[in-house]
Homo-oligomer: A and B are copies of this chain.
Amino acid sequence: MSKAYNIAVLPGDGIGQEVVPEAVRVLKAIADIYGHSFQFEEMLVGGAAIDAYGTPLRDEDLEKCKQADAVLFGANGGPKWDNPKAEVRPEQALLWLRKGLELFANLRPVKVTDSMLDASPLKPELVKGVDLVVVRELTGGIYFGQPSKRWEENGQRHAVDTLYYSEEEIRRVVRTACDIAMSRRKKVTSVDKANVLSSSRLWREVATEVAQEYPEIEMEHILVDAMTMHIMRAPKSFDVIVTENMFGDILTDEAAMLTGSIGLLPSASLGARVKENGIRPGLYEPIHGSAPDIAGKGIANPTATILSAALMLRYSFGLENEASSIEQAVSKALSEGKATADIVRDGKALSTREMTDVIINYIY
Contact = CB atoms under 8 A, between A and B. Distances in A.
A150 B165 CA distance: 9
Contact of A123 (B121, B225, B228, B229): B121
A319 interface: no
Contacts of A262: 229
A159 B121 contact: no
Chain copies in complex: 2
A167 interface: yes
A297 interface: no
Nearest to A86: B201
A167 B253 CA distance: 29
Given A121-B123, A164-B158, A198-B148, A225 B206 contact: no
A159 B207 CA distance: 14
Nearest to A202: B159
Nearest to A147: B198
Interface in A205-224: 205-206, 224
Contact of A91 (B77, B168, B196, B247): B196
Contacts of A126: 121
B225 A193 contact: no
A166 interface: yes
A199 B160 contact: yes
Interface string A249-286: 11111101100001000000000000000000000000
A161 B197 contact: yes
Q: Which of A142, A202, A205, A228 is packed against the most chain B CB atoms within 10 Å?
A: A228
A219 to B, nearest CB: 14
B164 A121 contact: no
A225 B41 CA distance: 31
25 contacts: A84-B194, A84-B204, A121-B122, A121-B126, A142-B197, A148-B198, A150-B198, A150-B201, A156-B168, A158-B164, A159-B198, A159-B203, A160-B165, A161-B197, A162-B163, A225-B249, A228-B228, A228-B254, A228-B257, A229-B256, A229-B262, A232-B257, A233-B257, A247-B250, A250-B250
Given A84-B195, A229-B256, 17 more contacts: A121-B123, A121-B232, A142-B142, A145-B160, A148-B197, A148-B198, A150-B201, A156-B167, A156-B168, A157-B206, A160-B162, A161-B197, A163-B163, A225-B252, A228-B257, A232-B232, A247-B250
